[in-house]
Amino acid sequence: MAEKLLTVREVQTAGEGDQSDGGGLMLRVRGASCSWVLRFTAPSGRRREMGLGTARRGNSKDTGESLTAARDAAAKARAQLQAGVDPIDAREGRREAAKQAEAATKVQKKREQLTLARAARDYHERVIEPRLSTKHAAQWIASLENHLSAEIWHKPIAQMEAPELLAALAGVRSIEVKDGRVPETLRRIRQRLDAVFEDAVFHKHCTTNPAAAVRRKMRETLPATRAGKFKALDYREAPAFMARLRAAEGISARALEFALLCAARTGEVLGAAWSEFDLQEGTWVIPAARMKAGEDHLVHLSQRARELVAGQIGLHQALLFPSFVKPGKAMSNMALLATLDRLGVRDATTVHGLCRATFSTWANETAAARPDVIEACLAHKEADRVKAAYNRAQFTEERRALMEAWAQYLANPRSNVVPLRAA
């Protein structure tokens, strides 16, 4: 005998409990709540219940529509069961697919909204600022902001293609190239864009890295970089220059001599503070905040470098090389350039080239030390992070010996002093 189906009136007046409408469809009343439920045996043999929505009982019209909708939903679920499909699993699968589609839409919209400028500034805030000094972190983002066109800078990062990025870099080249050389600025811009796009790919903001794709094309289409960007004095001329420098009077001459002895950058010397020195140990520790690589750098002071430091005692409470033009301030780099001018070598070398490139050329061409030791003295950042972590604790004696040998070479080019070598 066929099961008795519920009438509209019975649905409206049903009391607490479950009322059958046949075929497993139930009207469930729990207090003020009233809903439709389908009971069935899943293909797996498990008894299950599937909610089919609220049973509306406000008036006859609403109740009739609710009853019809519940029976239609139950019929579809039974058809799925006959086909061997669990209707609950099927519904959850549709919901999951809908969620994934919605998530994909959100990701796509975010990609469309995330411009290269936003991605670069986000990466700069998360990664660059914590690692570099304030000065170099500012230079990092400024190189992108100042040299990329507005069209490229504000384009969605997911829509960027390698050919248009190469064209944008070629535009930078047209402004920057001098004497047939690819400038350092252009190389750094590509490297920084590479880092931004790699980070964006990692976070699924885009799928490709066009900055990596243009690297070879840049080598093919742009002039090869020439070595020696900074003019530097031939190391064979350095001892004669040092003799003239030592004879020169003034604090700027002492600062330049100290920079040359330590193979240091201009900013590192001009900002040198007494708190960074240990004359007893003969060391100068430049804090990370003042270093280009954003890491503390240890300089081993030669005997002459120690004498220079000792000679500055009493000139200023905090600074090693204070300015006498602006009391309380550090000396300007123009003072060092003026010293080069005074000694007649301004056209032959820069301060950076004299203090670093001249030292590097001497150390490498005379095999004064192993390349790793030379690079450590120059505070050049090791690309291999594992190797860098290991090397931080190495080369102490070799570096000390190398800087002493450099000082003695500058004082006497015929010196036979040989720095300590590793066995």
| Nearest-10 crossing angle of helices 396-411, 251-262 | 130
CA–CA distance, 67 with 70 (Å, rounded to integer): 5
Delimit the CATH 3.30.160.390 region(s) of the chain. Answer: 8-82
Q: Can you read off the two tokens belonging to residue 61?
A: 């019209």
Q: Can you read off the two tokens belonging to residue 273?
A: 């503070």
Name the pTM for this structure.
Answer: 0.49
Match 């430091």 to its residue by tokens.
309
Spell out a b/e string for 55-66, using b for 16 or more CB atoms within 10 Å of the CB, else e: bbbeeeeebeeb
pLDDT at 225: 44
Name beta bridge partners: 178: 181
Question: pLDDT category, 182, cuts 50, 70, 90?
Answer: very low
Name beta bridge partners: 283: 278, 300
pLDDT in tens, 206-219: 889 999 888 888 77
Q: In the CATH scheme, what is the code of domain 8-82? A: 3.30.160.390
Least confident among 164-173, 194-203, 227-236, 252-261: 227-236
Q: What string of DSSP letters covers 302-369?
A: PHHHHHHHHHTTTS-SSBSSB-SSSTTSBPPHHHHHHHHHHTT-TTT--HHIIIIIHHHHHHHHTT-S
Question: pLDDT category, 181, cuts 50, 70, 90?
Answer: very low
Q: In the CATH scheme, what is the code of domain 235-411? A: 1.10.443.10
pLDDT in tens, 373-400: 998 899 876 544 444 544 554 578 899 9
Percent of the chain with pLDDT over 90: 44
Delimit the CATH 1.10.150.130 region(s) of the chain. Answer: 116-221
What's the Cα-to-Cα distance from 109 to each of 151, 159, 371, rounded to whole Å? 19, 12, 50
Question: pLDDT category, 38, cuts 50, 70, 90?
Answer: very high
Q: Can you read off the two tokens belonging to residue 172?
A: 């930078």
CA–CA distance, 288 with 297 (Å, rounded to integer): 7
pLDDT in tens, 223-260: 544 444 568 889 999 999 999 999 999 999 999 999 99
The CATH architecture that domain 116-221 belongs to is Orthogonal Bundle (1.10)
Delimit the CATH 1.10.443.10 region(s) of the chain. Answer: 235-411
Strand 17-22, strand 25-30: pairing? antiparallel
